[in-house]
């Protein structure tokens, strides 16, 4: 596909998406839920076609020599498809944020002012291998009345085209504009570049994937981007920590799922408890297969802690490795987090009222936790019902983004002839 046709195709998709977003904004929740039900049913009814397309992707992946972990994420087994269909049911039962009017008040001149929650308009998702993101993202966007343009990874292109066909059929069956969900069928990076310039039609870009993809999107986009680059999460064990509570929290944060963004990457221990506690937690972590990289004092106190290199501090290992450091105060812990953290998830273990509250107030991260595992920084766990991603930039959303974060508020004013003096 040459440059001109990519430009035209992507711009055309964006224009159509905008028109579809106008249609969606005027639909009721019932209409949008009917579409979601139809997607769920068609996913199961068309399972064989979807899996046939998925097999073509899997064959290509094997030829390319992709890792078994990547192939695993790419595979649409019966269970994965059933899970996708069931997940839609869980989204349908969540309250619809669109249409809510809040802060409605009468002004001194008698006019009534409120703020009405409305869809954002057109959302573009740019993501890598997992084809179930295609369904998840489409469902969350449609639930909230947004049109969506999906650009998945080249490894999943056949699967994504098959899923797009299900999505558009579901829209058509319900009499809805099928342009509400469109999948970019070219896998060139040029297509992303053109998409990032459609600021006339696209309201938000959400990239999901590796840091390289996300940096590329952030640097080239003229459209607002909600993103997080990485999760370098810490736990600070205070001098006043309940150490019996600390251990299961640290183990859960590091070991339960080390490859995700809310897993623990750095452990800070107050010097007053280090001599007693460091050997204990070292033993537990090592027993769980964790390799420890520490500061000089840690190396001296521990048995199997290797000296951390400068480049280890602040690294997102996404693996069974952990940096450990002894600090002299909560202030030093906060300064360390300020320097090496990624504004994602930061936790303190402390029974001290003042220290815990100070940490919560002063640490700059999308979620600041007291006495719980870092693994809780997740839309479902925090009570949003679902999430479409996590933002570590502060505009519009900071932390997990649920349905409400896919909407905005406009001012509505009801008067009876008021003019401005």
Footprint of a second copy (CB under 8 A): 22, 25-26, 99, 105, 107, 111, 113, 116, 118, 120-121, 199, 203-204, 218-219, 222, 224, 226, 242, 245, 248-249, 251-253, 256, 338, 356, 360-362, 364-373, 375-377, 381-383, 393-396, 398-400, 408-420
Q: By three-state DSSP, how is residue 345 classified?
A: strand
Contacts of residue 354, defined as CB under 8 A and 6 or more positions apart, other chains included, come to: none
Cβ of residue 387: shortest distance to a second copy, in angstroms? 12
- Name the residue nearer to a second copy (CB basis): 84 or 356: 356
Cβ of residue 57: shortest distance to a second copy, in angstroms? 31
Cβ of residue 86: shortest distance to a second copy, in angstroms? 19
Angle at the Cα of 379 from the Cα atoms of 391 and 343, rounded to 5 degrees = 35
Q: How far apart are CA 333 and CA 348, in angstroms?
A: 10
- Name the residue nearer to a second copy (CB basis): 40 or 253: 253
- Name the residue nearer to a second copy (CB basis): 36 or 363: 363
Measure CA of the first residue to CA of the last residue in the chain; give whole Å: 59
Cβ of residue 337: shortest distance to a second copy, in angstroms? 11
Cβ of residue 239: shortest distance to a second copy, in angstroms? 18
Strands 399-401 and 345-349, bridge-based pairing: unpaired
Q: How far apart are CA 199 and CA 37, in angstroms?
A: 32
- Name the residue nearer to a second copy (CB basis): 8 or 222: 222
Which residue in the block uniquely carries the two structure tokens 């002299």?
Answer: 328
Q: How far is CA 162 from CA 153, 167, 411, in A?
A: 14, 9, 40
- Name the residue nearer to a second copy (CB basis): 155 or 179: 179
- Name the residue nearer to a second copy (CB basis): 57 or 265: 265
CB atoms within 10 A of CB 296: 11
Helices 353-362, 330-340: inter-axial angle, 10-degree rounding = 20
Cβ of residue 172: shortest distance to a second copy, in angstroms? 23
């Amino acid at each position: 596909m040459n440059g001109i046709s990519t430009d035209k195709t992507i711009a055309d998709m964006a224009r159509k998406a905008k028109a579809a977003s106008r249609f969606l904004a005027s639909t009721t929740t019932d209409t949008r839920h009917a579409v979601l039900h139809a997607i769920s049913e068609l996913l199961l009814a068309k399972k064989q076609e979807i899996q046939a397309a998925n097999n073509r992707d899997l064959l290509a992946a094997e030829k390319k020599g992709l890792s078994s972990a990547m192939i695993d994420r790419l595979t649409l087994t019966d269970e994965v498809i059933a899970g996708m269909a069931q997940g839609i049911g869980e989204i349908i039962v969540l309250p619809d944020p669109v249409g809510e009017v809040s802060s409605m008040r009468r002004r001194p001149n008698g006019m009534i002012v409120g703020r009405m929650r409305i869809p954002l308009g057109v959302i573009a998702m740019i993501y890598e291998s997992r084809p179930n993101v295609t369904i998840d993202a489409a469902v969350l966007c449609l639930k909230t009345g947004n049109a969506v343009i999906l650009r998945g990874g080249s490894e999943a292109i056949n699967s994504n085209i098959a899923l797009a066909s299900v999505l558009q059929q579901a829209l058509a069956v319900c009499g809805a504009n099928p342009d509400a969900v469109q999948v970019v069928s070219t896998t060139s990076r040029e297509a992303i570049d053109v998409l990032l310039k459609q600021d006339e039609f696209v309201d938000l870009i959400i990239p999901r994937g590796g840091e390289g993809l996300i940096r590329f999107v952030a640097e080239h986009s003229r459209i607002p981007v909600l993103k997080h680059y990485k999760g370098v999460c810490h736990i600070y064990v205070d001098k006043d920590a309940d150490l019996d509570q600390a251990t299961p929290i640290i183990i859960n944060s590091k070991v339960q799922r080390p490859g995700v963004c809310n897993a623990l990457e750095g452990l800070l221990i107050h010097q007053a408890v280090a001599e007693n506690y460091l050997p204990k937690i070292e033993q537990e972590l090592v027993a769980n297969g964790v390799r420890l990289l520490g500061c000089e004092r840690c190396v001296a106190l521990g048995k199997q802690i290797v000296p951390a290199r400068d480049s280890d501090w602040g690294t997102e290992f996404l693996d069974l490795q952990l940096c450990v450091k002894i600090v002299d105060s909560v202030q030093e812990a906060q300064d360390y987090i300020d320097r090496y953290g990624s504004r994602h998830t930061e936790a303190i273990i402390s029974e001290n009222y003042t220290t815990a509250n100070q940490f919560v107030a002063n640490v700059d991260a999308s979620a600041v936790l007291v006495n719980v595992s870092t693994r809780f920084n997740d839309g479902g766990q925090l009570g949003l019902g679902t999430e479409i991603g996590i933002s570590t930039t502060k505009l519009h959303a900071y932390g997990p983004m649920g349905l409400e974060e896919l909407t905005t508020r406009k001012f509505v004013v009801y008067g009876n002839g008021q003019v401005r003096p």
